[in-house]
Amino acid sequence: MASAGLKRQRCSYTAPTARKRPETIGSPSQATDWSSLPLDIAGIVAERLLAEDVTDYMCFRAVCSHWRAAATSPCDPTLQETRFRPRGWVALCDGDGVRPADACEITFFHTSTGRRLLVRLTELENHRIVGFTDGLLILLNKATTVLRVLHPFTRAFVDLPPLAPIFRNLAKPMESRAWMKAAVCWAPASIAVVAWFPIAPVVIYADPGKPHWSVIHLGLDLCAALPFQGRLFGVRKGTGELVQVYPQCPQYPVVARVPITFGCPTLCRHHLVELGPHMLLAVQHRRVRRSEGWQPFAFALFLVNVRRRVLVPFGGLGDRALFLGKDRCLCVSAGKLPSISANSIYFAVPNHDPVVLHSLSSGTFERTSTFALIHDLKDRIRPSVRPFTLADHLMTYCHHFEWSKGLMFHEYYIIPFSWKNLWGEIMLQDCEIRLPGLGQEKAVGSLMSKKYNLISPKITGVTFALQWTNSGAVPKMLVLQ
């Protein structure tokens, strides 16, 4: 870089001399033309681009009709083909307090290339974004409660049955409707969507071929979940048990158990992260060692061997970094994102620090966003601190409550109750989901025990569900009919 205060030197420029264009050997039709690339070679190029990113593959197909014929269309109407999913793309937050669903646009960021795309999505109108899986958006229609899975780049979508019967009978609290969670999994003919709720301990699923939602788990309260290789895994709240949520596994529902050496499971936080072809379990516990400096928590990392149903201790992350959140977790390469610290964990300290950086190499902890708080737990003391760092954006993506409202997590990690206007707006947004009349619809539900205070709706056909109890790890198989 040139020193400050010095003028940039003008580049020397020499006018080009007239030069005769080389003659083309043979007829004009034999001139080099990329559009005439053999189909087999064009197909190889397309497959390599698709292995990196679906957007590059789409750009390749848009060059000419010849190249488009050499590559399969990514507009898969079933959304089942995982190769065409926008994997590696995360959604950024603008931090302006406008919900992406209201703005009908989302800024996507690719964690491997650093590429950023602003995508205008009119399909978001009158919808609530309830989840992401492999870059696919899971939308809930606020008027009809129909659930839709949308590919943000190809605009292909799959609709699933309305959730109104579930909301009326199994997930009555407003918080359950407003902050439901969902993930895309594998189904024989298309995809399946699994949904669970923050208060109602019930897990349901549906696929496009079914007219209604089915209950698969009763009394199962999840504190962490991860869609992995077409299945859904989760950690049962308060037990430290890693279970396979979908598809059902009645004989061996518990995949592994966290060792009791970390203390009571209720005092630990469990996070599931996709680490390439592996699933990683991060345990945040309080069994800290005496050392100099501030050390609020300690971490233990395990690779989950689903086939053998064991946890394998995992030492270091290498050039990777983990972002641990309440709703989602990320693993990114620090070698491709220089502003991210390698072999580190980014997490939040409850009710204290929004973003803390823990280096696994040195064992140190660093507060990165302490001074970015825009309030003193009561009143606003400073405006929003910009520009936001990439770590702030990735942490916000991992916390859906703040991201979905256009709020940066590190600034609104704690929202003072004195901010009545903001809390009032949040409450109004939570009440936007309307429940249409059931009419002739038949709801699929469960024989929930009275302690959950839920009504058993009518059931069409035979539905199987696993009933989890507070005591005992093996659930009971119920036949709902």
Average pLDDT for 25-46: 70
pLDDT of residue 18: 43
Look at residue 233 and tell me whether its pLDDT is greater than 70. Answer: yes
* Amino acid of residue 15: A
Average pLDDT in the 129-147 region?
Answer: 96
What integer pLDDT is reported at residue 314 of this predicted model?
A: 94
Whole-number mean pLDDT of the chain?
A: 85
Encode pLDDT of 70-107 as tens digits: 889 999 999 999 999 999 999 999 998 899 999 999 99
What is the distance between the alpha carbons of residues 180 and 18, in angstroms, rounded to a whole number?
69
> What's residue 442's pLDDT?
42
Q: What single letter denotes the amino acid at residue 235?
A: V
User: Bridge partners of 344?
Assistant: 321, 359
Among 379, 301, 391, smallest CA distance to 354 is for 391
* pLDDT above 60 for 166: yes
Token pair recorded at residue 279? 């699933």
Q: Is it the case that residue 32 has pLDDT exceeding 50?
A: yes
- Distance in angstroms (rounded) separating the CA atoms of residues 146 and 349: 36
Within 367-408, where are the H helices? 390-397, 400-403
Query: Is residue 244 pLDDT above 50, yes or no?
Result: yes
> 172 or 180: which carries more pLDDT confidence?
180
Residue 116, strand partner residues: 109
Q: Which amino acid is at 80?
A: Q
Whole-prediction pTM value? 0.86
Q: State pLDDT tens for residues 444-480.
A: 433 343 444 444 444 445 677 888 877 666 788 777 6
C-alpha of 355 from chain center: 19
40-46: long-range contacts, CB 8 A cutoff, minimum separation 24: 42/66, 42/67, 42/70, 42/71, 43/70, 43/71, 46/70, 46/71
Nearest to 100 by CA among 78, 76, 132: 132
Q: What is the mean pLDDT of residues 219-237?
A: 95
When computed from its CA atoms, the radius of gyration of the chain, rounded to whole angstroms, is 26
Ranking 118-132, 253-267, 280-294 by mean pLDDT, the lowest is 280-294
User: Which residues make Cβ contacts (< 8 Å) with residue 248, sequence separation at least 6?
Assistant: 216, 464, 466
Q: Compute the half-sphere exposure of residue 474: CA atoms within 13 Å on the CB side of its CA.
A: 4
Q: Provide the pLDDT for residue 467.
A: 85
Model pLDDT, residue 452 = 42
Hey, what long-range contacts does 248-255 have (CB within 8 A, 24 or more apart)? Answer: 248/216, 248/464, 248/466, 250/464, 250/466, 250/475, 250/477, 252/309, 253/466, 253/474, 253/475, 254/309, 254/473, 254/474, 255/304, 255/306, 255/309
- The answer on pLDDT for 168 being more than 50 is yes
Cβ-in-10-Å burial (0-12, 13-18, 19+) of 275 comes to middle
> What is the identity of the amino acid at 125?
E
Nearest alpha carbon to residue 245 among 185, 322, 329, 166: 185
Dist CA 276 CA 273 (whole Å): 9
Q: The sheet that has 146-150: what strands, in order across it?
A: 127-133, 136-141, 146-150, 157-162
- Mean pLDDT (whole number) for 370-383: 81
- pLDDT for position 473: 64
Give the H or E element holding residue 270. Answer: strand 269-275
| pLDDT score, position 293 | 78
Q: What is the pLDDT of residue 43?
A: 87
Residue 93 tokens, joined: 């937050």
Cα distances (angstroms) measured from residue 98 to each of 118, 127, 416, 437: 15, 14, 19, 31
DSSP type of residue 55: H
User: What is the phi/psi pair of residue 108, to 5°?
Assistant: -100, 145
Please state the rounded mean pLDDT for residues 311-319.
94
Report the pLDDT value the prediction gives residue 25, as an integer from 0 to 100: 45
What pLDDT score was predicted for residue 340? 95
Largest CA distance in the chain: 91
Q: 145 or 209, which is more confident?
A: 145
Among the residue ranges 47-51, 312-316, 374-378, the one predicted with the least confidence is 374-378
Q: Indicate whether 27 pLDDT > 50.
A: no
Asked whether residue 175 carries a pLDDT value surpassing 80, the answer given is: yes
Residue ranges per domain, the chain? 35-70, 85-220+428-481
